[in-house]
Structure 1
């Protein structure tokens, strides 16, 4: 599947001089538009940041009876996270597409070290996969997600050994089990990543204002608006 199979991303320009970028990835069956409304909420505190909201390609999704919908990769089961149950080919293809979005920023004077990648659910899983990239990122945010291909190291490239990671998960998530998120955090922590894990009591497979405020503070730190705290 080529990059031409992906719809044009939604871009929310920086309010001031463009010095950094957030690429935010949606979940299964959603689109970039589904997360674009966070841009005006975050922009006042991230004035030099451009926001990019890509949309995944349409593909058959096994857990939904083979129905075609937007997805960064196919999902065969919500109960298994081993590589044999995962669509590794599509994951790698989507990773290359997202890396292409990172590379498009560089000629505009925004290096990869000023680019953060975040996502929700399937999009969050892809954001964590960007820790394997050759491009050193400013930060990675994974909301209600899990680590892809966790039994295929390295989980973190040499370039991203120091890249800060924020993971957030509701403890009442009925779609992506909370324990999957916690186990993924522990694997990244064991791999040496500077990762922080935030738990939201009674929250299901969704986002909340408290979580988005946590993400904003994290982005302010990793994109250079203020000093980042210890993970």
Structure 2
């Protein structure tokens, strides 16, 4: 009698385990006719995230420019990471600056080889910031580098010399910070990165002519550039420029996500 009881208990336990297994499988497998729910991949997650790097002008600081992000309230920027780094402080001028630009800022295309080495060193630092975000899973198409004045010049150099295509580079009141010889280092992928160039026509610090020289230079290098001139705007950043930048980046974020889907 004891053997029979033990057999029945064993049989009941086996039946119970089988029932639990079947119930578990039913929860995992969708009913016939219904598609399985897709599991978001890390690639898709990267497509939904974006990164905006803002490079300030001579003597300014990163934190002082953080209010710029308030212009970007559209849903497309919900998963945007912002970075406002500060340039190193120069022991010579006691100003924070990305590279030495004592000569070039006043002239449309005045460049000197002795300044190019400083530009290229600053570019390496920007590329390290970009590489960190790419390694964290953000797709290069969703990375935008923007900058004002000296930060705009560094923006241009950084996106042109980055080996991959980025979402875009936005130059405000900037200039071309190197000679034509550097264009040989621009990769075929980098030539696909779109450039937005905005400049005030009343700028007396970085002359408007310096901004006008940008698009022809980029065209000769095979790079697409949209140039926008702002009458009566001096060497400063305007609300109109930031509003347009918001729409410019937003349209490219949408295009990136649509292409991936």
TM superposition score normalised by structure 1: 0.82
Tell me which residue corresponds to 1:13: none
Structure 1 outlier segments of 4+, above 4 Å:
225-228
SS of structure 2 residue aligned to 1:109 = coil
Structure 1 contact 221–227 (Cα < 8 Å) conserved: no
Residue number in structure 2 paired with 1:6:
none
Shift of 1:225: 6.2
Take 1:224 and 1:95, find their aligned partners in 2: how far apart are those partners? 28
Which of 140, 147, 161 matches 1:119?
Answer: 147
Distance 2:61 2:74 in 1: 24
> Which residue, out of 83, 91, 112, partners 1:84?
112
Alignment of 1:173-184 (within 5 A): 173-184=203-214
Larger fraction in helix: 2
Q: How far apart, CA to CA, are the structure 1 residues paired with 2:61 and 2:123?
A: 17
The 2-side partners of 1:187 and 1:164 are apart by 14
Q: Which has the higher strand share?
A: 1
User: Residues 86 and 30 from structure 1, CA distance in 2 versus in 1: closer, same or farther, beyond 3 angstroms?
Assistant: farther
Q: Check if 1:146 corresponds to 2:175.
A: yes
Normalising by structure 2, report the TM-score: 0.73
* RMSD over equivalenced CA pairs, Å: 2.2
Question: Is the deviation greater in 74-83 or in 117-126?
Answer: 74-83
Alpha-carbon separation, structure 2, partners of 1:90 and 1:205: 23
Gaps (5+ residues) in structure 2? Answer: 1-46
1:108 aligns with 2:139: no
Could you tell me how far 1:85 is from its partner in structure 2? 6.5
Gaps of 5+ in 1: 1-16, 61-65
